[in-house]
């Protein structure tokens, strides 16, 4: 459950009434709150806001000790993110597998290696990103109508035929449609997971759960890389080759589906449906059955109060729309910030580095050696997601230097230069995850207002994936032979110089 005090003081008082009230002003009790089923008492409401202050004041370890159930209830959503990461990592590894290259690619006379057509590499990746953006954008309506739990259930079902199409693909077009299905579900996964965490977790637990969604994605990438690397020596395209890598990805959505059957949905969503008793049961699961009834009622009171204020705004301004994201200075800054952090993440070079092994194969690095370096060093960005935020300013801009160094090494012809490229690419990936990756997931859940949260998160995610779509269309044409590494990294180094890290 998000900290709603800022929304109350700024969104309602400043935007609607146009005045600044002192922070010790009595909490307003609007008519919409009195008209709700089972409305809260003023005493319960006051206690609820006091509990919010206590949640914020708790240290990390104390907060986790009190809120471990919220983390547990978020696990199915994190497993969804794990599945998205597995697909991302395995896709990059599959593109480097000889069995896949023989079936969907051919021998490139310039680089004298097996390679895939640039247009199909671009289409597979770019249309997958575009469908992810569409999934994130459509999530606004789904979250409003179905809530995060059922929305994630739908995404887990959508991804299954996509995996089946990829595993059984006999043509490039069939593989393309499979990737579109998977990309669509990934966009819904990320948006619905962020929404559940923002509306169900409190204090430091919310920030940790948000970062964990990104961390699980990276763990999934590593699992995908490791699985593909274990089968990279298989030459034929039978069920024991790249097809098996896709089949294994059935595990994650299946586990997520099973887990979602046992976790509650967002209490905010239930209050919006005028189901306070169901919301109270949801809060009981999130905070534990030992939590006193008064405490649970107080937390429910805060949610009811915020939903009532939202209803007041809806009565005055109508239903929330994307236009409202730009309707006043507060929401406009939030929208720009939310979209900006995702654009910064894509501008950092993540698309180029995501194609690491296939690029190294084209560059002339032995596929086994390149795979070993990538897998061995991929734990770095995973661990960096948990590093304390104060190091961000110290390490953020090193990605620029790393990218420029990569460009210079592109002129090197020795095996040592090629291995240095492989190592520096992984260091760059770690730096990017530290400076933009982990903060993006945390900020995405923190900066949106209650009324426009689903719209703001969906808009920010879709902007990020649209940027990824554009960059992914260009990248394969840059790094396919006979391109030079300097050309590949110059684009990102230029963007990085303009991107606040």
Please give the DSSP secondary-structure letter assigned to residue 78. H
Please tell me whether residue 131 adopts helix, strand or coil conformation: helix
DSSP single-letter state for residue 30: -
Q: What residues does 107 pair with on adjacent strands?
A: 114
Give the least confident one: 64-73, 179-188, 264-273, 311-320: 311-320
Strands, E assignment, 383-456: none
pLDDT at 13 exceeding the cut of 50 = no
**Closest by CA position to 460, among listed 5, 75, 139:** 139
The pLDDT, as a whole number, for residue 9 is: 39
Task: Out of 4-18, 57-71, 216-230, pick the least confident.
Answer: 4-18
Domains plus CATH for the chain?
30-67+267-319 (no CATH), 74-263+323-498 (1.20.1250.20)
The more confidently predicted of residues 407 and 275 is 275
- pLDDT for position 284: 93
Closest among 316, 353, 370, 329 to 436, alpha carbons compared: 353
Is the per-residue pLDDT at 497 higher than 60? no
In terms of average pLDDT, the best of 71-85, 101-115, 119-133, 218-232 is 71-85
Q: Return the higher-pLDDT residue of 279 and 367.
A: 279
* Cis ω before 477 (30° cut-off from 0): no
Lowest mean pLDDT of 313-317, 329-333, 340-344, name the range: 313-317
Cα 397 off chain centre by:
22
CA-closest candidate to residue 165, choices 184, 150, 148, 146: 184
DSSP string, 183-205: HHHHHHHHHHHHHHHHHH--HHH
DSSP 58: S
- What is the model's pTM? 0.71
Beta bridge partners, 349, equal: none
């Amino acid at each position: 459950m998000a900290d709603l005090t800022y929304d109350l003081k700024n969104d309602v008082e400043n935007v609607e009434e146009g005045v600044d009230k002192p922070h010790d002003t009595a909490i307003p009790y609007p008519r919409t709150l009195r008209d709700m089923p089972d409305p809260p008492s003023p005493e319960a409401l006051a206690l609820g806001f006091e509990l919010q202050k206590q949640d914020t004041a708790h240290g990390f370890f104390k907060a986790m000790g009190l809120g471990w159930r919220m983390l547990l209830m978020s696990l199915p959503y994190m497993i969804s993110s794990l599945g998205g990461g597995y697909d991302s990592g395995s896709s990059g590894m599959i593109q480097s597998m000889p069995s896949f290259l023989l079936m969907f690619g051919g021998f490139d006379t310039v680089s004298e290696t097996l390679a895939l057509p640039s247009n199909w590499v671009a289409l597979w990746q770019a249309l997958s990103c575009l469908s992810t953006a569409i999934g994130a954008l459509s999530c606004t309506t789904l979250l409003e109508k179905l809530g995060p739990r059922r929305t994630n259930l739908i995404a887990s079902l959508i991804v299954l035929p996509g995996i089946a199409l990829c595993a059984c693909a006999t043509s490039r077009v069939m593989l393309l449609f499979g990737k579109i299905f998977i990309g669509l579900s990934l966009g819904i996964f990320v948006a619905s997971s962020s929404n559940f965490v923002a509306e169900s977790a409190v204090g430091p637990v919310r920030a940790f759960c948000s970062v964990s969604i990104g961390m699980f994605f990276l763990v999934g990438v590593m699992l995908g890389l490791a699985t593909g690397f274990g089968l990279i020596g298989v030459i034929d395209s039978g069920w024991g080759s790249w097809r098996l890598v896709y089949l294994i990805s059935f595990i994650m959505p299946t586990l997520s589906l099973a887990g979602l059957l046992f976790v509650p949905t967002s209490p905010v969503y239930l209050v919006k449906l005028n189901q306070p008793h169901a919301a109270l049961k949801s809060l009981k699961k999130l905070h534990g059955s030992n939590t006193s009834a008064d405490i649970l009622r107080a937390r429910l009171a805060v949610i009811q109060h915020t939903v009532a204020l939202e209803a007041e705004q809806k009565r005055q301004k109508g239903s929330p729309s994307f236009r409202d994201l730009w309707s006043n200075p507060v929401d406009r800054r939030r929208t720009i910030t939310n979209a900006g952090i995702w654009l910064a993440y894509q501008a950092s070079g993540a698309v180029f580095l995501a194609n690491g092994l296939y690029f190294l194969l084209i560059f002339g690095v032995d596929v086994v050696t390149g795979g070993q370096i990538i897998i061995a060093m991929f734990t770095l960005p995973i661990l960096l997601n948990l590093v304390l935020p104060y190091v961000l300013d110290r390490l953020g801009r090193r990605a620029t230097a790393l990218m420029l160094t990569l460009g210079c090494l592109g002129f090197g012809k020795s095996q040592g230069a090629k291995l240095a490229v492989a190592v520096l690419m992984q260091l760059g990936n770690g730096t990017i995850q530290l400076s933009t990756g982990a903060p993006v997931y945390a900020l995405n859940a923190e900066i949106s207002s209650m009324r426009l949260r689903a719209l703001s998160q969906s808009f920010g995610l879709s902007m990020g994936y649209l940027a990824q779509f554009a960059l992914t269309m260009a990248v394969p044409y840059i790094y396919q032979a006979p391109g030079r590494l300097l050309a590949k990294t110059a684009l990102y180094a230029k963007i990085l110089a303009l991107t606040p890290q």
